[in-house]
Structure 1
Amino acid sequence: MFPAIRLRTPKKSDLPGSGAAPADADSWLTPSGAGSIGKPVAIGPLVLVLMLVLLGVLWFADLGSRSLISPDEGRYASIALEMARSGDWITPRLNGLIYFEKPVMQYWIGALAFLGFGVSEFSARLWPALSGFLTLLMVGYTAARLWGRESGIRALAIAASMTWVVGNSHFLTLDAGLTFFLTVVLCAVLLAEGAASDAVMRRRWIWLAWAAMAGAVLSKGLVGVAIPAGVLFVASLWRRDASLIRGMHWWSGLLVLFALATPWFVLVSMRNPIFAQFFFVHEHFARYLTTVHQRQGAWWYYVPLLLGGMLPWTSALPWLGRSGAQEVGRRDGQARDLLVVWCAFVFLFFSASGSKLPSYILPMFPALALLAARALRDMQPGTLRWHLLLPTLVWAAAFVISTNAARFASAAAPAEVFAPMAQALRVGAVVFLVCAGLGWFSLARRNVTVAILCVAFGHLIATTVVLRSHDAYGQLKSAAPFAAALRAELHPGTPVFAVAAYDQTLPFYLGRDVTLVAYMDEFALGEVQEPDKWLKTVDEFVTRWQALPQAAAYINPVIWTELQQRGLPMRVIYRDAGRVVVVKK
Structure 2
Amino acid sequence: MTDLYKQRPFVWSLFAAFALISLYMLGVRTLVPPDEGRYAEMAREMFTSGDWITTRLNGIKYFEKPPLQTWMNALSFAVFGLGDWQARLWTGLCGIGGVLFTAYTAGRVFNQRIGLYAGLVLGSSFYWIACSQIDSLDMGLSGMMTIVLCALLLAQRDGASALENRRSMLLCWAAMALSVLSKGLIGLMLPGGILVAYTIVTLQWRLWTRLHLVKGLLLFLVVAAPWFIAVAVNNPEQPAFFFIHEHWDRFFKTEHHREQVWYVFFVLTAVGMVPWLGMLAHSLLLGARRAPGVAAHAFRPRLMLLVWAVFIILFFTKSNSKLPGYILPVFPALAMLVALQLDAGSRAVRVAGAALMALVGVALLATVPFMPGMAGRAGELALYQAYQPWVLAAGVVAVVAGVLAIVSVRTLAQTGRDLFVVLLAVAGFATTNLMMAGFEPIGRARAGADLLPAIQAELTADTTLYSVGTYEQSMTFYLRRTVTLVDYTDEFSFGLQQQPQLAIPKVEEFVARWRSDAAAGRRNLAFIREDIYAALLAQGVPMRLVARDARRIVVSNR
Q: Same fold (TM over 0.5)?
A: yes
**Which residue in 1 is equivalent to 2:383?**
417
State the shift of 1:465 in Å.
Answer: 1.0
Q: Distance in 1 between matches of 2:321 and 2:282?
A: 30
Amino acid at match of 2:263: W
Amino acid at match of 1:376: L
**Which residue in 1 is equivalent to 2:220?**
257
Q: Distance in 1 between matches of 2:363 and 2:302?
A: 34
Contact 1:58–1:461 at 8 Å: present in 2 too?
Answer: no
SS of corresponding position for 1:554: strand
Amino acid at match of 1:97: I
Contact 1:326–1:378 at 8 Å: present in 2 too?
Answer: no
State the shift of 1:256 in Å.
Answer: 0.6
State the shift of 1:470 in Å.
Answer: 0.8
Structure 1 runs of 4+ aligned residues shifted over 4 Å read 323-326
**Which residue in 2 is equivalent to 1:524?**
493
Amino acid at match of 1:561: A
Amino acid at match of 2:554: V
Contact 1:308–1:314 at 8 Å: present in 2 too?
Answer: yes
Q: Distance in 2 between matches of 1:144 and 1:71?
A: 39
Q: Distance in 2 between matches of 1:313 and 1:361?
A: 17
Q: Give 1:47-126 correspondences, 5 Å limit.
A: 47-126=10-89
Unaligned runs of 5+ in 1: 1-37
**Which residue in 2 is equivalent to 1:551?**
524
**Which residue in 2 is equivalent to 1:23?**
none
**Which residue in 1 is equivalent to 2:115?**
152
**Which residue in 2 is equivalent to 1:15?**
none
1:389 aligns with 2:362: no
Amino acid at match of 1:220: K
Q: Which moved more, 1:158-167 or 1:187-196?
A: 187-196
SS of corresponding position for 1:161: coil
Given candidates 174, 178, 197, the residue that maps to 1:234 is: 197
Q: Give the direction of change, closer, same or farther, for the CA distance of 1:412–1:371 in structure 2 (3 Å limit).
A: farther
1:472 aligns with 2:441: yes
State the shift of 1:333 in Å.
Answer: 6.8
State the shift of 1:195 in Å.
Answer: 5.1
Q: Give the direction of change, closer, same or farther, for the CA distance of 1:347–1:46 in structure 2 (3 Å limit).
A: same
Q: Give 1:73-222 correspondences, 5 Å limit.
A: 73-194=36-157, 198-222=161-185
State the shift of 1:302 in Å.
Answer: 1.2
TM-score (norm 2): 0.95
Q: Distance in 2 between matches of 1:191 and 1:71?
A: 38
Which structure features the higher share of helix residues?
2
Given candidates 432, 449, 457, the residue that maps to 2:398 is: 432
Q: Give the direction of change, closer, same or farther, for the CA distance of 1:197–1:567 in structure 2 (3 Å limit).
A: closer
**Which residue in 2 is equivalent to 1:318?**
281
State the shift of 1:355 in Å.
Answer: 0.6
Unaligned runs of 5+ in 2: none
**Which residue in 2 is equivalent to 1:4?**
none
Q: Which moved more, 1:464-473 or 1:328-337?
A: 328-337
Q: Distance in 1 between matches of 2:92 and 2:394?
A: 21
SS of corresponding position for 1:376: helix
Q: Distance in 2 between matches of 1:167 and 1:51?
A: 19
Q: Distance in 2 between matches of 1:148 and 1:99?
A: 46
Per-residue CA deviation, residues 462-509 of structure 1 (Å, 9 max, x unaligned), is: 210110111111123213221222111011110000000111111101
Contact 1:497–1:514 at 8 Å: present in 2 too?
Answer: yes
1:504 aligns with 2:473: yes
Q: Distance in 1 between matches of 2:280 and 2:12?
A: 30
Q: Give the direction of change, closer, same or farther, for the CA distance of 1:283–1:123 in structure 2 (3 Å limit).
A: same
Identity over aligned pairs, percent: 35
State the shift of 1:196 in Å.
Answer: 5.1
Q: Give 1:474-493 correspondences, 5 Å limit.
A: 474-493=443-462
SS of corresponding position for 2:64: coil
Q: Distance in 2 between matches of 1:206 and 1:413?
A: 55
SS of corresponding position for 2:78: helix
Q: Give the direction of change, closer, same or farther, for the CA distance of 1:53–1:41 in structure 2 (3 Å limit).
A: closer
Contact 2:390–2:434 at 8 Å: present in 1 too?
Answer: yes
State the shift of 1:412 in Å.
Answer: 4.9
Q: What count of residue pairs does the alignment treat as equivalent?
A: 548
SS of corresponding position for 2:284: coil
Per-residue CA deviation, residues 380-418 of structure 1 (Å, 9 max, x unaligned), is: 234311221112111111112203322223335621111
Amino acid at match of 2:477: F
Contact 1:175–1:359 at 8 Å: present in 2 too?
Answer: yes
TM-score (norm 1): 0.91
Amino acid at match of 1:77: A
Q: Distance in 2 between matches of 1:469 and 1:563?
A: 38
Q: Distance in 1 between matches of 2:298 and 2:529?
A: 59
Contact 2:174–2:223 at 8 Å: present in 1 too?
Answer: yes
State the shift of 1:332 in Å.
Answer: 8.0
SS of corresponding position for 1:493: coil
1:272 aligns with 2:272: no
State the shift of 1:513 in Å.
Answer: 0.5
Q: Distance in 2 between matches of 1:350 and 1:434?
A: 36
Per-residue CA deviation, residues 51-97 of structure 1 (Å, 9 max, x unaligned), is: 11111122111111111111100110000010011110000010000
Contact 1:191–1:205 at 8 Å: present in 2 too?
Answer: yes
SS of corresponding position for 1:321: helix
Q: Distance in 2 between matches of 1:42 and 1:298?
A: 42
Q: Distance in 1 between matches of 2:160 and 2:434?
A: 47
